[in-house]
Amino acid sequence: GAVVSQHPSWVICKSGTSVKIECRSLDFQATTMFWYRQFPKQSLMLMATSNEGSKATYEQGVEKDKFLINHASLTLSTLTVTSAHPEDSSFYICSARDYRGNIQYFGAGTRLSVL
Amino acid sequence: SQELEQSPQSLIVQEGKNLTINCTSSKTLYGLYWYKQKYGEGLIFLMMLQKGGEEKSHEKITAKLDEKKQQSSLHITASQPSHAGIYLCGALRGSNDMRFGAGTRLTVKP
């Protein structure tokens, strides 16, 4: 099946710094990618929908200035957690839909720990 | 509140036993997806169901979508330790983003 690559898989940073997470669709073009956040033992919560060449659409309660999304090409979306704080520590997962089969594939996730 | 209700929340079975996980929606589903997640990892796509009454199988896992397209079940036959993980059902909201149930944590005892 189609592959979505997410990098890095794990990052530790100091409070106040910014962290960038990349999400790539490896063998298909993705005009739309999605960013999710997952807390321990909970399900995935949609944060935002990333649209190639336009602004991302954020879910209610998600700060767009805190979580910057850029979707500059049909195969790459990035999520930047700006001025990270310990409460931003979480597991972030991206996904992309392959419209050829209407299946949404997921990256392996990024575990962010903010000290 | 969850748009998709999954049951049970957790399940512990002996290796070799069959099991069923359910996913229910109060609204008609346009597409129902089943994924498996191991702790701290991404989601692995299992199956997609779109038509009422549809049933798909892959190895020892069978998924069904009822005729009304509001309930789906995932059945594992002769479970193995490799089946352990978190099973999530997901549904498309409108035509775009996917929402998930709370997940079912499956433990298979050798």
Convert the pLDDT of each residue in B29-87 to its tens digit: 878 999 999 888 889 999 999 889 999 998 999 999 998 889 999 999 999 999 999 99
Contact B35 A107 (CB under 8 A): no
The answer on pLDDT for A62 being more than 50 is yes
What pLDDT does B4 receive? 92
What pLDDT does A31 receive? 83
Distance CA B68, CA B58 (A): 23
What pLDDT does B1 receive? 45
Rg of chain B over Cα atoms, rounded to whole angstroms, equals 13
* Confidence grade of residue A112 (pLDDT, cut at 50, 70, 90): very high
Q: How far is A83 from chain B (nearest CA, A)?
A: 24
What pLDDT does B11 receive? 97
**Which residues of chain A neighbour B2 with C-beta distances below 8 Å?**
43
The answer on pLDDT for B95 being more than 80 is no
Q: How far is A10 from chain B (nearest CA, A)?
A: 10
Contact A109 B35 (CB under 8 A): no
Contact B97 A109 (CB under 8 A): no
Q: In this complex, which of A49, A104, A109 lies closest to B33 when CB atoms are compared?
A: A104
* Confidence grade of residue A54 (pLDDT, cut at 50, 70, 90): confident
Contact B48 A102 (CB under 8 A): yes
Q: Which of residues B93 and A79 earns the better pLDDT score? A: A79
The answer on pLDDT for A47 being more than 90 is yes
What pLDDT does B44 receive? 93
* Confidence grade of residue A78 (pLDDT, cut at 50, 70, 90): very high
Question: Using the 8-state DSSP alphabet, how is residue A59 labeled?
Answer: P
The answer on pLDDT for A61 being more than 90 is yes
What pLDDT does A97 receive? 84
